[in-house]
Amino acid sequence: MQGKYMAYIAGGQDPYKGKIFRIAHLGYMGGFDIITALSALEMTLMDLGYKFEAGAGITAAQAVLKENWQ
């Protein structure tokens, strides 16, 4: 994901190690940064052969952002 789409993920820490991944960042990350990272994640999963409705995660994230935008 990092090399192809310039988006970074990191593993979980402490009790979450090996159970989750995190969108990695240094400093501030806004709503649109999350949309970009989710888009890269979806494209990576497609590259790996996972079958799912492309754009579903992004659509869901946009709905949450829209509902909670301040």
13-19-24-26 Cα dihedral, nearest 10 degrees: -20
Looking at the structure of the chain, the number of domains it has is 1
Give the model's pLDDT for residue 24.
Answer: 82
Coil, strand or helix: which one is 36? helix
Amino acid 18 reads G
pTM for this entry: 0.79
Q: At what angle do helices 31-47 and 56-68 cross, to 10 degrees?
A: 170
The per-residue pLDDT for range 39-68, each reduced to its tens digit, is: 999 999 999 999 999 999 999 999 999 999
Residue range(s) defining the domain that contains residue 48: 2-68
Copy the structure tokens of residue 13: 């820490």
- Given a cut of 90, whether residue 29 has pLDDT beyond it is no
Q: What is the number of other CB atoms lying within 10 angstroms of the CB of residue 65?
A: 14
